[in-house]
Amino acid sequence: MEMFSGEELNGMSGLKLEGECVEVTCGCTSHRYGDAVGTLRVFLSGDLRVSCQCIPGCNEDNLTPAAFEKHSGRETAGKWKNTIWVMVQGEKTPLAKTSLLKYYNKSQKRSPNGSHHGRQYHRDEFVQCSHCNKERRFRLRTKEECRVYHDAVTSSAHTASNWQCSDLTFDKITCEDEEERASRKALRGCLRSPSCKGCTKCVCFGCNTCRFSDCSCQTCVDFTHNNATN
């Protein structure tokens, strides 16, 4: 599926097209600290993520736009749609004046059952390594990522808690790597609030993205059976 037309993306700096994700160079300007530059990732689900490159070695690579705005030191935080910009034809252009927010805006129009046009949003989750006891982040933006997390949780629950850092397939992490700081763990990607501890906007109780018909765990079996009878 083509997320955006060539005209919608024309002239944007740092443009990369990767399946259900589009990447562009972005930034946010503070009168005190200047420009904080990063890479904005726009997902088909409506999710927006920023990898910050404000200084060499900055490890904030999964910020929501609101969190990036705050991280940049912007004095008037809370209006990220207008304060975060992308480079279009060499000019700083607010996100609100581009087409990059069209999937985000659609995701905000929630149906009565809490889904996003048939796709529930999933916040990041953590699983503890059985070897080093460090908690590792799982991002749940696609069905493939949800399956990796689901299998890790199922493994931890039913096979003597044997999941280890080396089993993480989307990120190359070993037990030697540092665990995320508590302040960063609190940022789990809720679209409503960066530091949300769990709400109907980011906590899913079962959908076609995070439940699997070929899985024999009771949760998936019940979900598949209920879907078939409805």
Q: What is the pLDDT of residues 115-148, one digit of tens each?
A: 444 456 788 999 999 999 999 999 888 888 899 8
pLDDT for the residue numbered 117: 42
Instruction: Please tell me the distance from the alpha carbon of residue 27 to that of residue 36, in angstroms, as a whole number.
Output: 5
- Check residue 191 and report its DSSP letter: S
The stretch 27-34 carries a mean pLDDT of 91
Q: What is the pLDDT of residues 97-111, one digit of tens each?
A: 999 998 887 766 543
pTM of the model: 0.53
Helix spans in 59-142 (H): 65-71, 80-83, 102-108
Q: Compute CA distances 215 → 23, 31, 157, 203, 220, whole Å.
A: 33, 53, 15, 21, 6
| Predicted pLDDT at 159 | 45
Q: How far is Cα 99 from Cα 61, in angstroms, rounded to an integer?
A: 23
- 20-34, 97-111, 159-173: which has the highest mean pLDDT? 20-34
